[in-house]
Structures are given as C-alpha cells and as structure tokens.
C-alpha cells in the first residue's frame, strides 16, 4: 500500500514539476510561430526524458551509486571534468532563467520591475534548501505545481483543431523560416531533456534508499509522470497556437506570456498564470541548485544530502548557496529572462551529447547494473535523439543569433 502511495505521489510530483520557464516559453513560442507543427518536438523530448529518468532511477536502485559518483569512478578524473564543467555552466544559465521566472511572476502581480525580485526569489529557494528536507522540495512544491493543469483545461476550453494537432505530432519540414523552426525545435528539446533532472532524480533515489524492488514503480513513475508532464507542455503549445497565432503575436517579451491564460479567463487566468510561473520556477530553482551541488559533492566524494543539516555537509550546503548567488546576479543586472531562457534551452540541447553519452555507457556496464543493463531500443533512442539535437542546436544557434532563416 505504502509503495503504491509512493508511486501515486511520484506521478503527481512529476506532473506538477514538469513545466517551468523553459518548457512554458519554448512551447509558447512554438505554438505562436508554427501553431501545431512543432508538437512532435515536445513528444520527442518527453520520450527522451522519460527514458532517461527511468534509467537514472534504475541505475541508482541497482548500483547504489549516483550518476556523478559513478562517472568519476568509471571514467576517471579528467573525463569526469568535461561533462561536469559543461553541464555546470549551461545549468547556471538555466538556473538564472528560472530565478528570472520567479522574479517575473512577482512583477506580474506587483508591477515592480523583475530585477528587484531576483534577490528575494533566490533567497526563498535558498531557504527551502537550507531549512527544508528533500521531501518538502520533491513533494510539497511539485504538488503545488499541479496548478499548471490549468493549461490543459484552457487548451480544451479553447477548442483546438484536433486534426491539425494530430498531424503536428509527426515531424515535418518547416512551413516558413527553416533556421528559426529548427532553433525552436531544439529549444523545446533542451527544455524537456534537462541533464540536471536525471542527476537530481538519481540522487533522490539514493537519498530515499531505493533498491531493486523499486524498479517497477520507477518505470511507472517515469512513463506516466513524464507522459502527463509532456501532455501539459503540448497544452501550452495548443493554447499559444489559439491565443497568439491568430493575433499575429510573436513571443518576444515575457510580459506577453500571461495572455496564454488571461485571454480565455481574464483576471482569474492572469492570476493562474502568475501562480503557475511562480511555483514551477521556484521548484525548478531549488532542484537545479541542488542537482549541481549534488554533482560536485558526489564527484569529489564529500558528504552530501538534503536531509542532513547544513553543518553536517558544509561544503555541499555552501556550494548550492554560491550557485544560487552567482545565477541570481545574472537576473539582478537585468539580463532579459525570456532571451536567457531561449538561449539556455538551446545551449542545453547543444550540450546533450556530452552530458548524456557517458551516462549511456554507464547504463550498459554490467559492473554497475548486473542483469539490469539497457536494452538496445532505449540505447538507440537516446543515442539518436541526443546526437541529432546536439548537431541541430550547434547549427541553428548561430543562425538564430545572426537572424538568418
């Protein structure tokens, strides 16, 4: 009974924690610019992250190692440093975007410009980590994130063209501006397949002392939780296609975003959007800061654990403190949260081969997984998605920046 309660909770928190500034913004841009045509990129990203989450949970449950710990052990110090440094810098930008998301949501309600809210936003996330426990962050915040289900209700309420949406689920060549199309497609992928997520998930599995009996629930949580999360992303795309595209609005300012819910529901919708952005970005801020601190602490063999008091793991606690401080500064100096989000999502996609391929090697090592190593289908799917998204991102980022199409 307790196990199935855990599964239900895991599914609910995966759904509540799926959307954040990256997935909301990129799905909104996709819907505004290409209506339903890019829905496939969300589906592809969701399949990829569901597979990766299942793998990282399985890895921790069977091997009792976190991914960062095993990467250092398996590949040695030098090779460990490459994905560490790369994922670290890309995730710092993503973290800044999430802090920006919290700050923007407060600006929407108070009218006071977002940079002023950077410090309170970072401080709030820090307090959650310093004073809270793993389950408060994992369960509490993600449960509140269920407010994002309002996007799905809005999508149905607005009445999408189901036939067009269904045909958007299959990849197709761009109808206009090909460079921009591929840029948005990889940004969507980067927003779904965030490497920090599986470092966070495998650390959580170790914190909660998973073993092989958790493999079944792990599979169910990854498939259903991530599946419904992806469904919410598609809902954002649908709402954007119905709200932005007919009005000819391109998402270029973060202040345009609340229209997603205020168009169908007025002030209530505006409040729901601000609430959704606040809670999901706050959760993501805490998770990313924690995931990066986990990666460093595990890579260097320190004591770590969100359930330990800060004085029992001083290096770990000060690492997430410092990470939050640095990212917060990017928002404080007034870098536009929307531009930061789009760029950091595309950079995440570009970094995927380096971040994911070593993990794939670990997933096929019987020293860690015994009989639970990956099947060929999972290997092939992750290999193709991560390499393709890396190549397309590297090509489309410069084109997007110079404004070519």
Partner 1 sequence: MQLLLVRDVLDNQLVDASGKNAGKVDGIILELREGQPPCVRYVEVGPITLTRRLNRRLGRWFARLDARFGSGRGVPIRFPLTRITFEEPSLRIDVLVEHTPIMALEQWLRRTIVRRIPGS
Q: Which stretch binds partner 1 (CB under 8 A): 3-11, 248-256, 259-267, 312-320?
A: 312-320
Query: Does residue 69 bind partner 1 (CB under 8 A)?
Result: yes
Return the exposure string of 26-64: e unless at least 16 CB atoms fall within 10 Å of the residue's CB, then b: bbbbbbbbbbbbbbbbbbbbbbbbbbbbbbbbbbbbbbe
200 near 291, Cβ under 8 Å? yes
Find all residues with CB under 8 Å of 384, minimum gap 6, and list them. none
First to last CA, the chain: 55
If the CB atoms of residues 191 and 323 are measured against partner 1, the closer one turns out to be 323
Q: Which stretch binds partner 1 (CB under 8 A): 58-66, 88-96, 227-235, 378-386?
A: 58-66
- Applying CB under 8 A, among 309, 370, 375, 398 the residue interacting with partner 1 is 309
- Applying CB under 8 A, among 110, 303, 307, 339 the residue interacting with partner 1 is 303
Query: Does residue 317 bind partner 1 (CB under 8 A)?
Result: yes
Q: Rule CB under 8 A: which of 74-103 touch partner 1?
A: 76-78, 80-81
Number of residues that bind partner 1 (CB under 8 A): 26
Query: Does residue 131 bind partner 1 (CB under 8 A)?
Result: yes
Shortest CB 130 distance to partner 1, Å: 6
- Applying CB under 8 A, among 14, 63, 91, 233 the residue interacting with partner 1 is 63
Query: Does residue 300 bind partner 1 (CB under 8 A)?
Result: yes
If the CB atoms of residues 196 and 304 are measured against partner 1, the closer one turns out to be 304
Query: Does residue 314 bind partner 1 (CB under 8 A)?
Result: yes
If the CB atoms of residues 159 and 311 are measured against partner 1, the closer one turns out to be 311
Q: Which stretch binds partner 1 (CB under 8 A): 64-72, 196-204, 286-294, 384-392?
A: 64-72
If the CB atoms of residues 88 and 302 are measured against partner 1, the closer one turns out to be 302
If the CB atoms of residues 80 and 200 are measured against partner 1, the closer one turns out to be 80
Query: Does residue 315 bind partner 1 (CB under 8 A)?
Result: yes
Shortest CB 209 distance to partner 1, Å: 13
Query: Does residue 2 bind partner 1 (CB under 8 A)?
Result: no
Query: Does residue 65 bind partner 1 (CB under 8 A)?
Result: yes
Query: Does residue 370 bind partner 1 (CB under 8 A)?
Result: no
Query: Does residue 72 bind partner 1 (CB under 8 A)?
Result: yes
| Binding residues for partner 1 (CB under 8 A) | 63-65, 69, 72-73, 76-78, 80-81, 130-131, 299-304, 309-311, 314-315, 317-318
């Amino acid at each position: 009974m307790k196990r199935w309660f855990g599964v239900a909770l895991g599914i609910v928190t995966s759904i509540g924690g799926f959307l954040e500034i990256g997935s909301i913004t990129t799905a909104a841009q996709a819907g505004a610019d290409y209506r339903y045509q890019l829905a496939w990129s969300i589906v592809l990203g969701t399949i990829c992250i569901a597979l990766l989450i299942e793998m990282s949970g399985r890895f921790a449950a069977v091997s009792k190692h976190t991914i960062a710990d095993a990467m250092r052990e398996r590949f040695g110090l030098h090779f460990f440093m490459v994905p560490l440094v790369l994922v670290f810098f890309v995730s710092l930008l993503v973290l800044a975007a999430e802090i920006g998301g919290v700050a923007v949501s407060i600006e929407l309600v108070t009218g006071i410009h977002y940079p002023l809210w950077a410090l309170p936003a970072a401080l709030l996330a820090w307090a959650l980590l310093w004073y809270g426990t793993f389950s408060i962050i994992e369960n509490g915040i993600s449960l509140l994130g269920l407010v994002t289900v309002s996007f799905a209700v809005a999508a149905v309420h607005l009445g999408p063209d189901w036939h067009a949406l269904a045909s958007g689920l299959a990849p197709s060549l761009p109808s206009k501006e090909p460079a921009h199309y591929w840029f948005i497609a990889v940004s969507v992928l980067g927003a779904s397949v965030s490497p920090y997520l599986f470092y966070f998930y495998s650390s959580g599995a170790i914190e909660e002392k998973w073993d092989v009996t958790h493999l079944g629930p792990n599979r169910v949580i990854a498939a259903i939780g991530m599946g419904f999360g992806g469904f919410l992303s598609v809902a954002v795309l649908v709402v954007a296609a119905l709200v932005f595209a007919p009005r000819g609005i391109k998402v270029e300012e973060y202040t345009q975003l609340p229209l997603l819910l205020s168009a169908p529901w007025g002030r209530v919708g505006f409040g729901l959007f601000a609430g959704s952005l606040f809670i999901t970005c706050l959760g993501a801020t805490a998770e990313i800061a924690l995931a990066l601190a986990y990666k460093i602490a595990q890579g260097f063999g320190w004591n770590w654990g969100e359930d330990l008091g800060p004085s029992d793991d001083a290096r770990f606690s000060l690492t997430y403190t410092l990470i939050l401080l640095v990212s917060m500064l990017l928002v404080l100096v007034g870098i536009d949260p929307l531009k930061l989000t789009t760029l950091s999502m595309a950079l995440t996609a570009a970094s995927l081969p380096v971040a994911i391929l070593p993990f794939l090697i670990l997933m096929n090592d019987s020293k860690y997984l015994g009989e639970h190593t990956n099947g060929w289908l999972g290997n092939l799917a992750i290999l193709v998605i991560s390499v393709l998204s890396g190549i397309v991102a590297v090509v489309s980022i410069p084109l997007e920046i110079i404004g070519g199409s």
